[in-house]
Amino acid sequence: MNPTPLYTQLADILREMITSGQLQPRSPLPSESYLQQEQGVARGTVRTAIGILRDEGLVVTISGRGSFVKEPDPKASSGPD
Amino acid sequence: MNPTPLYTQLADILREMITSGQLQPRSPLPSESYLQQEQGVARGTVRTAIGILRDEGLVVTISGRGSFVKEPDPKASSGPD
DNA sequence: GCGGATTTGTACGTATGTATG
DNA sequence: GCATACATACGTACAAATCCG
C-alpha cells in the first residue's frame, strides 16, 4: 500500500491552516525546525512540504527569515507597500 | 559503516576537558566560533556538540555570553544566593 | 545612553550518505 | 532504479543579548 507521503500530509495540514485563516496573510509559518520537532519528521520532509505550498503560490520563502503566507491577490487599489 | 558523528566526537572532547578538570566549574568553554575554527567544523556542529553537554547537565549556556561548566551540585550548605 | 565587538540564537539553502519499499 | 525519509554537515545571513569603552 502506498500511503500518502508524509510531506504531502504535512503540506495538507499547512494548507488547511492557511485556507482556514488560522494563518493570516503575511504571517510566518512555523519554522522548519519547529515543524520538524512538532511533527516528528526530518527537516527535509518539512522543506518538501513547504516547497509544495510555494509551488502552489500559497507561501513565499525568504532565506534566513522564514516562509510567509502570501496575500491572496493585491489586484490594484491598496496594493503592497 | 557509520563513523561516530563529528558532533559526538566534539562533545566527547569537551566532556573530557570538563571531567578531567582541564575546564574548571564556572569557567567558560571556548566560544563557538573559536571551536569552529579550531576543530575545522561548522558552527552548527559545534552547537550540536555543546547541546549534548547541556542535555547532560554538564554546561549551561547564556545567550550573548557563552557556555560555562556547571558546578557539580550545590546541594545545600553554601548554596547559590 | 550610544556604538562597536563578541557571542549565542534562529532560520533557510545545499549537499551527501544511508536505508527502505 | 526511483521515491520517500532520515541523519549528518557544510554554508550564509541576520537578530538578540551582552560587554566594554
For residue A78, pLDDT over 60 is answered with: no
Mean pLDDT of A1-22: 89
Note the pLDDT tens digit of each residue in B8-67: 999 999 999 999 999 999 999 999 999 999 999 999 999 999 999 999 999 999 999 999
Residue A1 — very low, low, confident or very high, per pLDDT cuts 50/70/90? very low
Contacts 24+ apart (CB under 8 A), A52-57: A52/A7, A52/A8, A52/A11, A53/A11, A53/A14, A53/A15, A53/A18, A56/A15
For residue A49, pLDDT over 90 is answered with: yes
Q: Mark the nucleotides of strand D covered by protein, meaning any atom under 7 Å from a CB.
A: 3-14, 16-19
Q: What is the pLDDT of residue B12?
A: 98
**CB of B45 lies under 7 Å from some atom of strand D:** yes
Q: What is the pLDDT of residue A65?
A: 86
Mean pLDDT of A7-26: 93
Least confident range from A1-15, A18-32, B11-25: namely A1-15
Task: Show the cell assigned to B43.
Answer: 558552527
Note the pLDDT tens digit of each residue in B41-50: 999 999 999 9
**CB of A61 lies under 7 Å from some atom of strand D:** no
Nearest nucleotide relative to B35: CA against C1': C7
Q: What is the pLDDT of residue A75?
A: 64
Q: What is the pLDDT of residue A3?
A: 75
**Residue A12 CA, nucleotide C18 C1', distance (Å):** 28
Q: B68: closest CA among B31, B36, B16, B34? A: B31
For residue A59, pLDDT over 70 is answered with: yes
The pTM is what?
A: 0.84
Q: When comparing pLDDT for B72 and A15, which is higher?
A: A15
